[in-house]
Amino acid sequence: MLSSSTQGGYGGLSVYGSGASARIALGVTGTWGEYAGKQVVQLSDNGGQSWREIEAGMAGETASGWVDEVEIDPSNRDHIMHVHGGGIVETWNASAATPSWSSKVNNLEETATLALVTPPAGATYKFINSSGDIGAWVDTDLATRPTKGPMNWWSSGNSADMAWSDPQYIAMAGVDNANNHVGVGYWSGDGGNTWAKFASLPTGAAAGTDGASNVAVTSRNNVIWAPNDAVPSYTTNNGASWNATNLPPLTLIGGAPRSYRLKVDRKNPNKVYAYDSGGAWWNQWSDTAHFWYSADGGHTFTERTSFKATSPMVTFFGNTSMAVNPSVEGDVWLADGNALYHSVDAGATWTKLSAFSSIWGSNQWPDVQGATAVTLGKAAAGSPYSAAVYVVGAMNGLWGMYRSDDGGATWSRFNDDAHQFGGIYHLAGDWNTYGRIYAAGNGRGVLYAN
């Protein structure tokens, strides 16, 4: 036996040379963090007779985790690279007593996006990506890694929103994983350049750490926060204090966090919409989905009972989506996991679009869901509707991402069978460029197409 480790398994092996002077690099996988004696990359220069650590505790951007592939450059033995789950890091001076490391690939992501949101045209940033494990990030350049985020340590971003008339003001709800996995909230008044914690949290936010937790912003300093499994609250003083809305408490569904999905009417921010998907499919025999409307900035709500009359699907929070048209007051789109709905009067009445429908088998749950994500973006020149509509779902038995330029009268498939990305969970349409869409592939970070 040449080497062993009690810290993790060996996931990578590379050899340069042969015999007693062979250089061997071993990647130790399945461990995370930095501490004395940590093993990430072990190196031997005598054919495995002795070993030293060349990454843990060294200068630059080091990366532990899934070190499942290590390569010594065959043309330069001092150049060693390895994957780690979030990309690739490398050193060019592996023979040094203290090698230095840096990122090899810029903007390669293996991340779980939990929410995406785009600002109005002309904003200083492209979108806000709220992700598991790596936090929330304001992206200003599609070609480089984002740097503007409130928590650059082990954290999760569950949701973010901006004031549409003042997009430099951003609110974010997330989880501080590194410090007891507690729910946290941050705000920025300058487009993500600087951040501050909310001075206080609404009831349920500290414990509400699931991705179903979400926030909505009506204007600077005015935020509504819906923690999972809790009554949403609002603040009018940037988090100095919070007040509970009149939305009813949600019946807890075992194993399925439940929340109100919040959206602000971009044309009239006094109007706020709250959608409850019912919690989980097995709750369909005791409850239904609900849609609520507020005319006072999200302080008090009234249920639109007409929505229940459409027989919406009862499903998990993550299988649903809601979008509002910033060009028209009261123009709301909703995907309930099974079908697509459209209202032009703030939810008082609804049109159920029959183009999308689930593919059913013998189970009580669809084999393929009909409509799970909807977003709007800049309209095509001369189109009859003031926004391009994008939907992920099944049409005529074929799953994909679809676009409509005429308010849902006709649809065209945006992707094809060769580009399905392991599923698409979140969408955000761009308001600067027609046809640009940001999509969260399953564990593949954020992708975009024009």
Segment 104-122 mean pLDDT: 87
**Angle ∠(217,221,227) on CA atoms, nearest 5:** 50
Give the tens place of pLDDT for each residue, 356-386.
999 999 998 999 999 999 999 999 999 999 9
Distance in angstroms (rounded) separating the CA atoms of residues 378 and 382: 12
DSSP for 35-88 reads -TT--SEEEESSTTSS-EESSTT-EE----B----EEE-TT-TT-EEEE-SS-E
Give the tens place of pLDDT for each residue, 400-435.
999 999 999 999 999 999 988 889 999 999 999 999
Reduced to 3 states (helix: H, G, I; strand: E, B; else coil), residue 305 is helix
Task: Quote the CATH superfamily of domain 250-450.
Answer: YVTN repeat-like/Quinoprotein amine dehydrogenase (2.130.10.10)
Architecture of domain 109-244: 7 Propeller (2.130)
Cα Dmax for the chain: 79
Distance in angstroms (rounded) separating the CA atoms of residues 369 and 372: 7
Q: In what order do the strands lie in the sheet with 155-163?
A: 113-117, 127-131, 134-139, 155-163, 166-176, 182-188, 196-197
Contact 381, 359 (CB under 8 A): no
Q: How far is CA 233 from CA 203, 260, 297, 318, in A?
A: 7, 11, 11, 21
Q: Using 50, 70 and 90 to split pLDDT, how confident is the model at 442?
A: confident
Q: Where are the domains of the chain?
A: 9-103, 109-244, 250-450
- Is beta strand 100-103 parallel, antiparallel or unpaired with respect to 88-91? antiparallel
Q: Using 50, 70 and 90 to split pLDDT, how confident is the model at 87?
A: confident
- Chain centroid to Cα 270, Å, comes to 26
Tell me: pLDDT of 171 over 80: yes
Backbone phi and psi for residue 21, each to the nearest 5 degrees, phi listed first: -105, 15
- Three state DSSP letters for 169-219: EEEEEEEECCCCCEEEEEEECCCCCCCEECCCCCCCCCCCCCCCCEEEEEE
Segment 19-37 mean pLDDT: 90
Tell me: pLDDT of 16 over 80: yes
Q: Is 249 exposed, middle or buried (0-12, 13-18, 19+ CB in 10 A)?
A: exposed
Tell me: pLDDT of 202 over 90: yes
- Chain centroid to Cα 210, Å, comes to 12
Token pair 């941050």 is at which residue?
186
Q: So what's the pLDDT on residue 108?
A: 67
Distance between start and end Cα atoms, the chain:
54
